[in-house]
Amino acid sequence: MSKFYNEIAEKYDFIFPLSPAHQTFFADELQGHTVLDVGAATGNLTAYLSSQGYEVTAIDLSERLIANAAEKGVNVQQRNMLTIDELSTFDNIVCIGNTLPHLDSKASIQLFLQKAYGQLTQGGKLVLQLVNFEKYFAQQQDDYLGNLPLIANDKVKFERFYYFNKEGKIRFKTILDDTIENEELLQPIFADELTQWLTKIGFQAINLYGNFKKDPFDKEKSMALIVTAEK
């Protein structure tokens, strides 16, 4: 994973900017005073939440993304997300940017969710954002699952494609500026199983949205799956 993000680091903020919808969503959803930002990348969300008065701890694996965050004055620790139980407790844990599917198995994902539950204060909130993989599996042709929307502007061109492999993983192929090609393996997660895992662990008040504008989640149409849950 770090190789992929290291290679797109210089263009990351042009590919994945923090939008007004993000800001409104987190202003409405977060509570308390402390936040753990898991997969913080170049620190845009961390910086925004800090500006709103939250005490934010940020972690990521990519050295170059962390370096870019540092250039903006944002401190991001280099840490595996499965080690969050070594940290203190938080009023909020946020894991966006389709970070969760980068874990290597459903067992690892459930382990992270269990650790997140343990690291939340009572009444604390977990926020997850990932791709709605069911939409892509529904349109599968041979091993091809489809492409995510092209990101193109005067700063960057970023193409993204999904393929299914025999081990049940998704081959995530990207092309940056027509020259830099990368491929990552993702663990697909569906809304129903994620909800079941969260419920079994003990999370309550579980809400599903199709985007950060809080449109209702539709497994056939939504591009994203946003989940909020409380301890």
84-123 tens-digit pLDDT: 999 999 999 999 999 999 999 999 999 999 999 999 999 9
Burial of 155 (0-12, 13-18, 19+ CB in 10 A): exposed
Q: Is 210 helix (H, G, I), strand (E, B) or coil?
A: coil
* CA-closest candidate to residue 93, choices 61, 66, 118, 62: 118
Distance between CA 153 and CA 151 in Å, rounded? 7
Partners of 183 in the beta sheet? 173
**Count of other CB atoms within 10 angstroms of residue 196:** 11
Across residues 175-204, what is the average pLDDT? 95
Which positions ≥6 away from 214 have C-beta within 8 Å? 25, 226
Could you tell me how many residues make up the chain? 231
DSSP 168: S
Residue 2 has pLDDT above 80, yes or no: no
**Domain boundary assignment for the chain:** 3-132+187-230, 135-184
Listed in order, strand segments (DSSP E) in the chain are 34-38, 55-60, 77-78, 90-95, 120-131, 144-152, 157-164, 170-176, 180-186, 204-209, 224-230
Q: Quick: pLDDT tens for 14-73.
A: 888 899 999 999 999 999 999 999 999 999 999 999 999 999 999 999 999 999 999 999
* Phi, psi angle pair for 162, to nearest 5°: -115, 135
User: How large is the average pLDDT for residues 169-185?
Assistant: 92
- Beta partners for 209? 216, 226
Q: What is the CATH number of domain 3-132+187-230?
A: 3.40.50.150
